[in-house]
Amino acid sequence: MQITGTGALVTGGASGLGAATVRRLVGAGAQVVIADLNAQTGEALAAELGENAHFVSTDVTSEDSLRAAVQTAAGLGNGLRIVVNCAGIAIAEKVLGKDAPHDLNRFAKVLQVNVVGIFNAIRLSSDAMQHNEPDAEGERAIVLTASVAAFDGQIGQAAYSASKAGVVGMTLPIARELARYGIRVMTIAPGIFDTPMLAGLPESARASLGQQVPFPPRLGRPEEYAALVQSIVENTMLNGETIRLDGAFRMAPR
């Protein structure tokens, strides 16, 4: 699929994996909407990248907010053809804490952002995509972001792992359903990447995590995630699958 001249939407595009994806897609000639809660970093990135990047203040869990971002992206270039879902949150909390069981609202919040938010983006953007003038192969691509925690979640990751397994689980049925519109759906399950999500950890903990990766023995670089997004978008045969991007890393129980 051609990226040049295409409208694209990146949720969570103001930071980390999303920001690297925005840079990559703009570099490849797309016109990109950065849909993120964080206006400060989102606007700064759009200003840095120039006329092919646009920030739209967005909460992926809100119907109206996401609809506005999708409408902006649909008006760019030859219409919305690429959607990359990077908005997400992580918490660490045990089912049985020292003083109380897992807070139910915090569990629900992670599901709301990571599963409901991604589904909101898929349904609204695929609705916009189905009205595009098809290109040569009538093709569009939606990329979801899960995590290796979907498969080998650690103690304390009940909410996060459940949410990311939800993303993996919706990949195939939605790819099957949207196939008739030429919309592909693929999921990337990253290992541990060096983004602001990990910034709370001390440098020694980050280095130790990196050393646990068989090869390369380091944290992933956001540009490596963005490079896989581009490969997925460009390779028409990739559809309905989850790709681990983790250097053969498998998380230990704790």
Active site residues: 160
Options 157, 187, 195, 230; binder of ligand NAD; rule CB under 6 A = 195
Determine the interface stretch with ligand NAD among 94-102, 122-130, 188-196, 210-218 (rule: CB under 6 A): 188-196
Options 68, 91, 172, 197; binder of ligand NAD; rule CB under 6 A = 197
Q: What burial class does residue 67 get, using C-beta atoms within 10 Å of its C-beta: 0-12 exposed, 13-18 middle, 19+ buried?
A: middle
Cβ pair 69, 33 in contact under 8 A = yes
In the bound complex, what is the minimum distance in angstroms from residue 164's beta carbon to ligand NAD? 7
In the bound complex, what is the minimum distance in angstroms from residue 13's beta carbon to ligand NAD? 7
Could you tell me the end-to-end alpha-carbon distance of the chain, in angstroms, rounded to an integer?
41
**Residue 190 is a binding residue for ligand NAD (CB under 6 A):** yes
In the bound complex, what is the minimum distance in angstroms from residue 85's beta carbon to ligand NAD? 8
The radius of gyration computed from the CA coordinates of the chain, to the nearest angstrom, equals 18
Cβ pair 251, 49 in contact under 8 A = no
CA distance 145 to 94: 23
**Residue 192 is a binding residue for ligand NAD (CB under 6 A):** yes
Cβ pair 219, 198 in contact under 8 A = yes
Footprint (CB under 6 A) of ligand NAD, residues 14-53: 14-18, 36-38
Cβ pair 154, 251 in contact under 8 A = yes
Closer of 238 and 249 to ligand NAD (Cβ): 249
Options 26, 87, 124, 165; binder of ligand NAD; rule CB under 6 A = 87
How would you label 75-96 residue by residue, b for 16+ Cβ within 10 Å and e otherwise? ebbebbbbbbbbbbbbbebeee
In the bound complex, what is the minimum distance in angstroms from residue 117's beta carbon to ligand NAD? 5
Options 173, 196, 216, 217; binder of ligand NAD; rule CB under 6 A = 196
Amino acid at 186: M
Options 90, 91, 168, 172; binder of ligand NAD; rule CB under 6 A = 90
Closer of 6 and 58 to ligand NAD (Cβ): 58
**Residue 61 is a binding residue for ligand NAD (CB under 6 A):** yes
- Distances in Å between the alpha carbon of 150 and those of 77, 155, 242? 35, 13, 11
* Residue 197 DSSP label: G
In the bound complex, what is the minimum distance in angstroms from residue 133's beta carbon to ligand NAD? 29
Residues engaged in binding ligand NAD (CB under 6 A):
11-12, 14-18, 36-38, 58-61, 86-90, 113, 117, 145, 147, 190, 192-193, 195-198
